[in-house]
Structure 1
């Protein structure tokens, strides 16, 4: 689905991502792991259009998206979450999600000024999509709560829902279990499996190795911006370079 060829990003003299080639495979959970500073988030930023690559090529279903803007990439079906969940804390959870589906609407300033039927119809659709996304992540009962009043785990679920409200094909999750407890981590892992079961493709950055090893179909390992390994969880656990650079001996053959 997403093909990445010789992708590089330099910030001055620093190669944050260096000649990385891989693919985000359709209908699978594609994990990216590595030490802090390995280039994982920069890699997601390149795929989603936040940064433009120094060199290399990114294609989505055969379409070159290398130099597209973030909103253009999103309209083609790539959505993402971030390490820190930024919400409009003084707005309701539902209103936060209505913003997400605005990506798919066509109303402009004139529609707002005249209160056009197109605007009204699109607002209805946005609200329905937001409610569907909330239901999917198990937070229907939170629709009218202020976003600033919900827990960290609930904020993570709202971030999932916000990504889903854009009608994506690929969802990039950047440390979705960061800052939540083990029981909550299990619940978020189940939600990720549910996303794939419903036809989505997932790219996943996460430091919680038990979660990654039980979830991922494929794992790519970055270190100092370079791909040092790629394979199934079993292959990654047994890879000496990965053990040395990141996992440590306690994960070997676990």
Structure 2
């Protein structure tokens, strides 16, 4: 689905991502792991077109998207969540989600001034998509609560719902279980499995190794901006370079 060839991003003399090639496989859970400062978030920023690479190419479903804007690649079907879930805290959860499907609407200023039928229909569709996304992530009960009043775990689910409301084909999840307890982590892992069962490919960055090893189909390991390993959880768990750079002996297979 997403092919990355020799991707490099330099900030001055620092190579945050250095000559990384990989494939995000369709219909699977693809994980990116590595120590702090390994280049994981920069890698996500590159493939979601937040940053432009210094060199290399990114191909989505056969189309070169390297030079596209973030909104353009989002319209092609790439959605993104962030480490910190930022919402409009004084708006309801439902109103926060209505923003997501705006990506797919066409009404402009003239429609707003006229109160056109197209604007009204698109408003209806946006609300419907928002409700569907909330139901999918199990949060219909908080639809009319202020976003500032919900829990951290619920905010994580709202971030998933916001991404889902854009009608994505690929979701990039940056530390989706950050800041939640083990029981909530397992609930979010099951939600990720549900997303993939519904035909959406997932790539995620996460530091919780127990979650990753039980969830991912494929793992890419970065260290100092470079790819040091790639494979199944079993292969990664027993890779000496990964054990030395990141996992430590407690995650190694005996």
In the superposition, the TM-score normalised over structure 2's length comes to 1.00
Match of 2:17 in 1: 17
Aligned-pair CA distance for 1:172: 0.3
Aligned-pair CA distance for 1:143: 0.5
Match of 2:237 in 1: 237
Counterpart mapping for 1:129-144 below 5 A: 129-144=129-144
Unpaired segments ≥5 residues, structure 2 = none
Cα distance in structure 1, aligned partners of 2:37 and 2:168:
28
Match of 2:119 in 1: 119
Number of residues of Structure 1 aligned to a counterpart in Structure 2: 254
Cα distance in structure 1, aligned partners of 2:81 and 2:212:
17
Match of 1:52 in 2: 52
Counterpart mapping for 1:18-167 below 5 A: 18-167=18-167
Q: Pairwise CA RMSD of aligned residues?
A: 0.5
Match of 1:4 in 2: 4
Cα distance in structure 1, aligned partners of 2:70 and 2:91:
24
1:192-232 per-residue CA deviation (whole Å, 9 max, x = no partner) reads: 00000000000010000000000000000000000000000
Aligned-pair CA distance for 1:190: 0.2
Cα distance in structure 1, aligned partners of 2:12 and 2:95:
40
Aligned-pair CA distance for 1:5: 0.2
Cα distance in structure 2, aligned partners of 1:159 and 1:238:
33
Cα distance in structure 1, aligned partners of 2:113 and 2:142:
31
Aligned-pair CA distance for 1:81: 0.2
Cα distance in structure 1, aligned partners of 2:69 and 2:40:
20
Q: Give the 3-state SS of the residue equivalent to 2:134 in structure 1.
A: helix
Aligned-pair CA distance for 1:151: 0.2
Unpaired segments ≥5 residues, structure 1 = none
Cα distance in structure 2, aligned partners of 1:61 and 1:180:
34
Cα distance in structure 1, aligned partners of 2:142 and 2:45:
30
Cα distance in structure 2, aligned partners of 1:113 and 1:46:
38
Q: Give the 3-state SS of the residue equivalent to 1:87 in structure 2.
A: coil
1:34-88 per-residue CA deviation (whole Å, 9 max, x = no partner) reads: 0000000000000001000000000001000001000000000000100000000
Match of 1:208 in 2: 208
Q: Give the 3-state SS of the residue equivalent to 1:41 in structure 2.
A: helix
Cα distance in structure 2, aligned partners of 1:49 and 1:70:
5
Q: Give the 3-state SS of the residue equivalent to 1:16 in structure 2.
A: strand
Cα distance in structure 2, aligned partners of 1:73 and 1:11:
23
